[in-house]
Amino acid sequence: MSRSKPSFRTELDRLEAIVRELEDADLDLDRALELFQEGVTRLKTARSMLQDSELTVKRVLEAADGTIRASDVDA
Amino acid sequence: MSGGPSLFDAAPPASSEGAWSVADVTRQARRLVEAGFTRLWVQGEVSGIKAYRSGHWYFTLRDAQAQVRCVMWRTDNQRLPGPPDDGAQVFVEARPTVWEERGEFRLTVKELLPTAAGGPWQLQFERAKAALQKDGLLDAARKRPLPPFPERIAFVTSLDGAAFRDVASVLERRWPGVELWVVPTRVQGDGAEREICWALTLVNRLPDVDVVIVGRGGGSREDLWVFNSERVARAVAALRVPSVSAVGHETDVTLTDLVADVRAATPSAAAEAVVPDRSEARDRLQAVARRMARGLAGRASLGRERLERTGDRLQAAVVAQMERRAARLERLGLQLDALSPLRVLGRGYAVARDADNRILKRVAQFPPGLRFRLTVSDGDVGARAGGGDA
């Protein structure tokens, strides 16, 4: 149950870092383009997260042997 | 009962040898009385209250049928604002005893509360609150901020209650990209206290939980009472991640509310407190997109100025090329919401625009000889209207 999918937060944090770097006047132009392209990709990812997402509801149960299970519930 | 004569000897001897001392009688009576009662809640009217300089209070508690002497020691009454008035209706938590020296049956009062203030409920609440306060669990400094973008929200509540549906629908509307993990528990009645404590402990074992909501919808004071349990409050305080309490309606403040990092007036308000609103998030992304485009454009023109000064025209041409790409990327950044029209172009459609960049949609907008631009999937093409039917 590790968290490997990109999160809105990591996208936003990275985007804000990109903006700060882009606003630095001493930035090399190649690097600026590279950052910009990364930023556009991440903007798309972040926006699609807001668009397509659906609430996931799970019900947590503890089995007799102490293991924890989370099963889907229709919200 | 060991030692001394038994109170229940069938036929006490009528001799001085077997006679009880008065002290024996009252001592034995005290033992019997104290063993025969647990602590009691007693309701009655105060009369003849005497507050002595020693700090101890003596009074009589009575009702229509009977009366009993009471004492409340200074150590027990010093938390109270002052002695009750004669005639006041009160609840006392007391231990029946016999005052041996006087052979007097009386109540040793440990707690006293005017019935008007909620009686034993209130008393229990205040006592538990004081205990939590003593352990620092109500300190403002303990309050943790909620995470700005939670991904997994645990919710300790009943699956049957309105609270669950309310929270789910607010999350759905504001920030649906989250997981709501419900840890079901009874929230009222027998066993609710134990179940809620268990559920809260279970939350601490769940992976990657960012924030916890604990609560239920509105109900009577009795229905909500479990959220005033000291055990439940301590279990909330022991949560590893920030917590939001949401118990009943706005007016009900419970111990759980006091211990949680954030108190929400209702379950819906709790859901609003834990997630951002996605339209705000969209605005934030839009601002990022604008700053990005501006940052890059500024970067590119700055580079060209420098290069022009050096007179290196080849480099300048490269930069100009970069700048064109940057401008295109800028458009892309600002038009991300318009990505679907680009997909339409990809299928072979084109958009016609005049010199003022107005989109041309009707035949009447194409007088013969009109110069216009056609935007196709990979760029613009200059075009001229031929006139007549195609």
Average confidence (pLDDT) over A22-26: 78
Note the pLDDT of residue B9: 57
Asked whether residue B277 carries a pLDDT value surpassing 80, the answer given is yes
How is B32-50 classified by DSSP, letter by letter?
HHHHH---EEEEEEEEEEE
Note the pLDDT of residue B313: 57
d(CA B45, CA B90): 6
* Chain B residue nearest residue A19, CA to CA: B292
Higher pLDDT pick, B340 / B209: B209
* Beta strand extents in chain B (DSSP E only): 40-51, 57-62, 67-72, 89-99, 104-114, 152-157, 179-184, 211-216, 243-247, 262-264, 351-353, 371-376, 379-384
CA torsion sign for B383, B386, B389, B390 is negative
* Chain A residue nearest residue B334, CA to CA: A40
Higher pLDDT pick, B122 / B148: B148
Note the pLDDT of residue B67: 94
**Where residue A1 falls among pLDDT bands split at 50, 70, 90?**
very low
Contact check, Cβ <8 Å, B337/A53: no
d(CA A33, CA B333): 13
Which B-chain residues 221-280 have CB contacts (< 8 A) with chain A?
A: 278
CA dihedral B166, B172, B177, B178 (to 10 degrees): 10
Contact check, Cβ <8 Å, B292/A12: no
Instruction: State the residue for tokens 């090399």.
Output: A28
Note the pLDDT of residue B319: 62
Shortest CA gap A62–chain B (Å):
8
Shortest CA gap B348–chain A (Å):
23
Instruction: State the residue for tokens 């009662």.
Output: B37
Q: How far is CA B102 from the centre of its chain?
A: 54
Q: Tell me the ipTM for this assembly.
A: 0.78
Mutate to test the interface with A, among B178, B292, B294, B339 (most CBs of A within 10 A): B292
Average confidence (pLDDT) over B167-192: 92
Instruction: State the residue for tokens 């309050």.
Output: B143
Taking the Cβ of residue A54 and every Cβ of chain B, the question of whether any pair is shorter than 8 Å is answered with yes
Residues of B whose CB is below 8 A from A56:
178-180
Do residues B41 and B115 touch, judged by C-beta distance below 8 A? no
Q: What are the tens digits of pLDDT across the range B8-63?
A: 555 555 666 778 899 999 999 999 999 988 888 899 999 999 999 999 999 999 98
Residue B47, beta-bridge partner list:
B60
Do residues B238 and B260 touch, judged by C-beta distance below 8 A? no
Residues of A whose CB is below 8 A from B149:
7-9, 12
Q: What are the tens digits of pLDDT across the range B149-166?
A: 899 999 999 998 899 999
Average confidence (pLDDT) over B361-378: 85
d(CA B251, CA B220): 12
Amino acid present at B136: G
Specify the DSSP class assigned to residue B98: E
Note the pLDDT of residue A62: 87
d(CA B264, CA B271): 9
Residues of B whose CB is below 8 A from A70:
181, 206
Shortest CA gap B152–chain A (Å):
9
Note the pLDDT of residue A45: 87
Higher pLDDT pick, B323 / B259: B259
d(CA B215, CA B266): 9
* pTM exceeds 0.80: no
Do residues B296 and A18 touch, judged by C-beta distance below 8 A? no
